[in-house]
Structure 1
Amino acid sequence: MNRITMPNVSHITRTGLAENLALSFAFPIGLVFAVIWGLIFHSLQSNSITLSGWPSIGLGVLIDAGVIVFIGFILGYLRGQKALQPHEQLKLSKPKFIFDCLALTSAYTIIAVALTAVILTGINVAFKDVRMTDFSAALVVGIFATFTTYSIISTSVRLQSKDIVHALTLFITGGVFISMATAKNPLWWQINFSSLGTSGTISAYSFNITLVLSGLLLLCLTDYLLSDLQQVVKGNTATITKRTNTIKLLFVGISASLAGVGLFPWDIHPLLHTSSAYLLVVVFSILIIGLHKLVPNLSKSFFANSYGILVILVACFIMWQPFRYFNQTAFELIAFCLIFIWLVLFLRTITNLKNSLVA
């Protein structure tokens, strides 16, 4: 299978390249969108543009955010990969490279649109019933477009594993909390955590899509993790390859299990849903237990925290099943939080260790 190895096409660091590209595109793109929306507002013969509704500043900003982030992330990501140093290059098959690019783009686009909607909601409350002329409204939309362009290009060009960790954290916590807040049944917690993904409502789709995309995002992160691990794991070439591939296999299992929980709703495919959830816990436990052999040079404090998390997880399971001290929802929430906290801790630890070794 053909493999992609991005050449080092520039002596400029990715940080400098990201800043230059962001500044080069931000103002022209902002101006273009300001002109487009100015023409739209003017053609509608509306000289009193509100923050919401149609035509409105808010709708213009939301559309701009989705379009700019989707296109800007793809272009910035491709350009950033070309500027990687030889030891940073990801050796991926073409289909896997495209998959990673699209998965990351989708996640960042959803995050950007959601954050923009939250910001607009706050502005709408703070400036209730405010109205602007078509010129002023177009100018505001252009300013938002400028900021969005700068942010997404500077982020995508210099994308690192820690950035994907932050995106994964924001994406999964935001998506789950939105599902909790908008659940059709406010007493969902009396049933179980998985009930958030049932009933076919918008909140249920939000919950399931969040888990599926989080699994895909974690799968993308596995490629970056493998690259970092090859610089962290000690031993000869055969040992390093064997250990890193083992960790990659376990992370693929966690990613697939997480996606499976969302892909198979509890009310439609209860067996597949439950199997995915249990597999997630089992693979997670195997990873923690075997990590001391796979990456023995991690800090003692990290291993202590890892074993502590595993002990808490087992204790909570015992308190749920034999003793019924916890209900199913409590155990699922605790297990979900513990696993996610450990994943973030592990990924950040590997990244920091790699950076210290490279420095």
Structure 2
Amino acid sequence: MVATENMAPPRLSVEGAGIVVGGGVFVVSGLVALLSFWGNDLPIAGPGSVGQFAAIAAGIVAFLAYATGRLWHRQGLTPFETSAGRGSGAARAPGVAGRATGADIFDTFAIALAFGILALLGWLVLGAVLADGFQDATVYFLSASVIAGAAIGVTAYAVFLASAGMDLMRLSTVLAGFAVIGILTAMLSAPNPHWWMLHLSALGMTRSISSLTFNLTLIIAGVIVTAIARYATDARGIEDPQRRAAVVRVRVGLILIGVLLACVGIFPLNVSAVLHNVSAVGMVVVFALVVFWVRAALPEAPRAFFTLGYTFFGVIVLMLVFFAIGYYVLTAAELVAGVLVFSWLIVYLRMSGAAVARAR
């Protein structure tokens, strides 16, 4: 009885572990930064800066912290709690540990990589903003070491907690943040400031960090969409054959959207115009099909969700018509279509996650 009363609640236990992880990373990274910066005054951003050091280290630490957070539950490298071969919303016997499959490990790696790149780009952008606010300022090596250690430690703490509590609904937020920060970083760092006069794909056509960021963002976002498709469309336990078939169709559609999104980044327009355009157009076509398939696959979703999908589809068609008649430039049509497709995917993940939570 005494032992039970002294046991910390699970959430507090995870928070305590997060503090240990963040504090340990703060000390270690601060010491490494101190040895690297010793005796030098560093710029805030740019090559050899405190911002660059913090961003690179935070990216590596975020990747490792996500894996550590998943292992905290002793389920193996599973992406989140509803995996490990038991299906979304399926019950598990108390005390039975999950076992990660090869697909689970791959999915976990993809999500961890997204966290790593998100941390890298996030701190790079913040460093650039601070550098603009403190023009020509430098940072003493002691202060730089503390700042870098704090940034890396906070990253480890936040990612560990996010990983330990990861589910479909939280993953939708990560996917949105990753895509937005990746695309914005590519836009802000584009060597041609007038890239928008051509098309959105122009961001991926140069041999620059901007193009690498743009294409890598699309590839990893596509891998994540493909990876989570099987968790968001689990057909096990569905006895109605028609609904089961609808769920399978939606799963195939989501996988195709993820694959085609990745192909848009794998085949930039200057590498293969045919493959790039087929991937981009195919993604929109498959999205249209999924929007009309999802009602039979997720009938418990609110009517507003289905109306939203039909509205998004109509707006995309309207944007394409505007482009065809010359009212909109291609960049505007691509941005609107891309934002709407991604927004619907994120809302769908939240709907699916809510359905899973209700089924438990």
TM-score, normalization: structure 2? 0.82
Aligned to 2:85: 91
Identity of aligned residues (%): 24
Aligned to 1:341: 343
Decide whether aligned partners of structure 1 residues 314 and 153 sit closer, same or farther in structure 2, where only a CA change above 3 A counts. Answer: same
Structure 2 residue 38 is matched with structure 1 residue 31: no
Kept in 2, the 8 Å contact 1:68–1:145? The answer is yes
Kept in 1, the 8 Å contact 2:122–2:181? The answer is no
Aligned to 2:254: 251
Aligned to 2:180: 173
CA shift for structure 1 position 239: 5.4
Q: Which has the higher helix share?
A: 1
Written as runs of structure 1 = structure 2, the 5 A alignment for 1:32-181 is: 32-42=28-38, 46=39, 48=41, 51=44, 57-80=50-73, 82=75, 88-91=82-85, 94-127=101-134, 134-181=141-188
Q: Write out per-residue CA displacement over residues 238-267 of structure 1, whole angstroms, 9 at most, x where no aligned residue.
A: 556433322211100000111111111112
Kept in 2, the 8 Å contact 1:80–1:156? The answer is no
Counterpart amino acid of residue 208 in structure 1: N
Aligned to 1:4: none
CA shift for structure 1 position 230: 5.7
Counterpart amino acid of residue 61 in structure 1: A
Is the deviation greater in 31-40 or in 166-175? 31-40
Question: Which of 305, 316, 320 in structure 2 is aligned with 1:317?
Answer: 320
Written as runs of structure 1 = structure 2, the 5 A alignment for 1:222-241 is: 222-227=229-234, 235-236=238-239, 241=244
* In structure 2, C-alpha distance between the alignment counterparts of 1:76 and 1:289, rounded to whole Å: 37
* In structure 2, C-alpha distance between the alignment counterparts of 1:54 and 1:271, rounded to whole Å: 37
Is the deviation greater in 211-220 or in 63-72? 63-72
* In structure 1, C-alpha distance between the alignment counterparts of 2:342 and 2:252, rounded to whole Å: 18
CA shift for structure 1 position 127: 4.9
Structure 2 residue 219 is matched with structure 1 residue 212: yes
* In structure 2, C-alpha distance between the alignment counterparts of 1:279 and 1:165, rounded to whole Å: 23
* In structure 1, C-alpha distance between the alignment counterparts of 2:316 and 2:61, rounded to whole Å: 42
* In structure 1, C-alpha distance between the alignment counterparts of 2:42 and 2:24, rounded to whole Å: 24
Kept in 1, the 8 Å contact 2:187–2:203? The answer is yes
CA shift for structure 1 position 48: 4.8
Q: Write out per-residue CA displacement over residues 67-115 of structure 1, whole angstroms, 9 at most, x where no aligned residue.
A: 321222222223346299x983332973322221221111111111111
Helix, strand or coil: the match of 1:88? coil
Counterpart amino acid of residue 151 in structure 1: A
Note the aligned Cα RMSD (angstroms): 3.0
Aligned to 2:90: none
Decide whether aligned partners of structure 1 residues 24 and 238 sit closer, same or farther in structure 2, where only a CA change above 3 A counts. Answer: farther
Kept in 2, the 8 Å contact 1:230–1:240? The answer is no
Aligned to 2:4: none
Kept in 1, the 8 Å contact 2:226–2:256? The answer is no
Q: Write out per-residue CA displacement over residues 319-348 of structure 1, whole angstroms, 9 at most, x where no aligned residue.
A: 333x33333322222211221121122222
Is the deviation greater in 193-202 or in 122-131? 122-131
* In structure 1, C-alpha distance between the alignment counterparts of 2:257 and 2:8, rounded to whole Å: 37
Structure 2 residue 265 is matched with structure 1 residue 262: yes
Counterpart amino acid of residue 35 in structure 1: L
Question: Which of 183, 193, 197 in structure 2 is aligned with 1:190?
Answer: 197
TM-score, normalization: structure 1? 0.82
* In structure 1, C-alpha distance between the alignment counterparts of 2:283 and 2:104, rounded to whole Å: 25
* In structure 2, C-alpha distance between the alignment counterparts of 1:178 and 1:214, rounded to whole Å: 15
Decide whether aligned partners of structure 1 residues 354 and 134 sit closer, same or farther in structure 2, where only a CA change above 3 A counts. Answer: same
Unaligned runs of 5+ in 1: 1-10
Counterpart amino acid of residue 162 in structure 1: M
Kept in 2, the 8 Å contact 1:15–1:158? The answer is no
